[in-house]
Structure 1
């Protein structure tokens, strides 16, 4: 049986045999959950929302005061070493070395006031993140239909509950059950991807690049998890980002209001490249997503990045 056939059968959920049915349910359950919530979270199969994650993320806000306090201590120690004890004394040299190391470690992360433009755009993005997907809302239903039309422009839009949705990579006949922690923004991200970079969107949707695994990741559900991963990685609900990636993103957001959506497209293309490089299979999606996050964090840390389009991986995207 061809890989294409196996992929189609897996998406439609008609793999025969009890053992296959068990593996399919386990894999789909794991993939439907936000994948970076921790092993205990996945094992207990709790339904997580962005609000749950924000509770944890807000606690990180305390970390910003640690940054500020540690730098004040570092500067005080430097002054003490140079002025009071003298830079030539043994104690002075020790204090100077340790305080300088502490300052260099934290200096890039010193909290800085947000510009009015950053505040406005971050507030708008946070509002988008707080909107859950609601299958009963006409606006959300229309967005799903729009996504289908972008994905399959020559095909008729199916009913909102139909097995045809599995062909896009939803887990069941009702896409609304797959959003969970992703929220409405994850659907907006997919629509933006299809409109802005249709070449890459179609190639990823139809798995056209590279030697694919027999058990492929479902396209739409993978997209939801990427949205969730980015929201966590960038500390978007923290009072101020506690990571270098989050700090750099604020700079990118000031340059482009759609920075999050463009970064989503980069992350999705990057994830698929990681998938192919690792020759991953369906059950390894978690590991691939974590590797994607690591690579994205590295690119965001590069010194000469002032726009999302400056990221090296942006060049993988195709708009035709």
Structure 2
């Protein structure tokens, strides 16, 4: 294994400057409590300039690795939103002329939940409240299952081993990282590995695109994505405050695993954002924020009746 590969897989926040990082305010969300990384504005020339998609496309001289499927999903989402604005007249010139008194933001309409939606939402909220407990046999078994899915041809290491860092845990004991994500984040990783094994392996081993010298740790990044989705969808309160959160409840009615499937899309989208921005370790926070924004835009598109209808879903490979 090359030294750069070791660096990519073993790097954790203590390796940079010994200071812990934060992504979001976590004080209000149960067992999901301590996300991974943040910004370091003192990081000098490793903090890269951020470019918009339009700038990347207009300037062929920029040496940034782009996923064409990611570009397509961004363009499709932007085009659909532009078309919806024209048709609805909410933010277009046409709307201003024909409806001058129309408010810039319409009031969020939250329809009454069906009994099925309420039950599935309760089940999901119950999952979110379960902390990871390294002393519970079923939690230990789940962690072992994740190792076997990630490295099927390698022997299972002890629950405390340097080998766990190769999966992107921050130390020798993965259970210490779950204080920020709860048991559901482990369930999400296992679901990703089982449902979309090819995509899972590509991201785990950083096989796609031109990778940064200082990469994000895979497993802990997955914990952050679980946390981000729970916040974005207002699952801690069950009272949606965005159109994306309302749309998710619609999707939950048709798919009891909607959260886990959305997690897989979000992880793939995050990695595509990472490559498109030419990001490095200290920019993980920015990448996760832009991933959230893009995911919200796609959830708000018309004619989205399942996770598979999301443009970014096409990036997943089985």
- TM-score, structure 2 normalization: 0.75
- What is the deviation of 1:245? 1.1
Count of aligned pairs between the two proteins: 253
1:155: which partner in 2? 154
User: Is the Cα contact below 8 Å between 1:50 and 1:181 reproduced in 2?
Assistant: no
User: Is the Cα contact below 8 Å between 1:11 and 1:171 reproduced in 2?
Assistant: no
Partner deviation per Cα, 1:53-75 (whole Å, 9 max, x = no partner): 89xxxxxxxxxxxxxxxxxxxxx
State whether structure 2 residue 24 is matched by structure 1 residue 36.
yes
1:306: which partner in 2? 305
Structure 2 CA distance, aligned partners of 1:49 and 1:178?
A: 19
2:296: which partner in 1? 297
Structure 2 CA distance, aligned partners of 1:282 and 1:22?
A: 11
2:190: which partner in 1? 191
Structure 2 CA distance, aligned partners of 1:219 and 1:203?
A: 11
Structure 1 CA distance, aligned partners of 2:140 and 2:28?
A: 20
Q: Could you say what secondary structure the match of 1:172 adopts?
A: coil
Greater RCO (CA < 8 Å, at least 6 residues apart): 2
User: Is the Cα contact below 8 Å between 1:50 and 1:182 reproduced in 2?
Assistant: no
User: Is the Cα contact below 8 Å between 2:181 and 2:224 reproduced in 1?
Assistant: yes
Structure 2 CA distance, aligned partners of 1:49 and 1:217?
A: 26
- CA distance 1:52–1:129, change in 2 (3 Å): closer
1:67: which partner in 2? none
- CA distance 1:116–1:225, change in 2 (3 Å): same
User: Is the Cα contact below 8 Å between 1:133 and 1:179 reproduced in 2?
Assistant: yes
User: Is the Cα contact below 8 Å between 1:226 and 1:267 reproduced in 2?
Assistant: yes
Structure 2 CA distance, aligned partners of 1:202 and 1:218?
A: 14
1:83-94 map, 5 Å: none
The higher radius of gyration belongs to 1
Moved over 3 A (4+): 9-14
Structure 1 CA distance, aligned partners of 2:293 and 2:260?
A: 19
Q: Could you say what secondary structure the match of 1:297 adopts?
A: helix
User: Is the Cα contact below 8 Å between 1:245 and 1:297 reproduced in 2?
Assistant: yes
User: Is the Cα contact below 8 Å between 1:151 and 1:194 reproduced in 2?
Assistant: yes
Partner deviation per Cα, 1:30-74 (whole Å, 9 max, x = no partner): 2xx4x222xxx7xxxxxx5732889xxxxxxxxxxxxxxxxxxxx
2:105: which partner in 1? 105
Structure 2 CA distance, aligned partners of 1:215 and 1:97?
A: 51
Q: Could you say what secondary structure the match of 1:105 adopts?
A: coil
Structure 1 CA distance, aligned partners of 2:272 and 2:4?
A: 21
User: Is the Cα contact below 8 Å between 1:233 and 1:246 reproduced in 2?
Assistant: yes
1:50: which partner in 2? 29
- CA distance 1:305–1:5, change in 2 (3 Å): same
Alignment gaps of 5+ in structure 1? 15-19, 42-47, 55-95
- TM-score, structure 1 normalization: 0.74
State whether structure 2 residue 245 is matched by structure 1 residue 252.
no
User: Is the Cα contact below 8 Å between 2:169 and 2:218 reproduced in 1?
Assistant: yes
2:218: which partner in 1? 219
State whether structure 2 residue 156 is matched by structure 1 residue 168.
no
Q: Could you say what secondary structure the match of 2:24 adopts?
A: coil
User: Is the Cα contact below 8 Å between 2:8 and 2:216 reproduced in 1?
Assistant: no
User: Is the Cα contact below 8 Å between 2:8 and 2:213 reproduced in 1?
Assistant: no
- What is the deviation of 1:239? 3.9
1:135: which partner in 2? 134
- What is the deviation of 1:179? 1.4
Structure 1 CA distance, aligned partners of 2:24 and 2:6?
A: 27
Alignment gaps of 5+ in structure 2? 34-98
State whether structure 2 residue 276 is matched by structure 1 residue 277.
yes
Q: Could you say what secondary structure the match of 2:18 adopts?
A: helix
1:81: which partner in 2? none
Structure 2 CA distance, aligned partners of 1:165 and 1:314?
A: 29
- What is the deviation of 1:173? 0.1
User: Is the Cα contact below 8 Å between 1:7 and 1:216 reproduced in 2?
Assistant: no
Partner deviation per Cα, 1:63-107 (whole Å, 9 max, x = no partner): xxxxxxxxxxxxxxxxxxxxxxxxxxxxxxxxx954xx24x8335
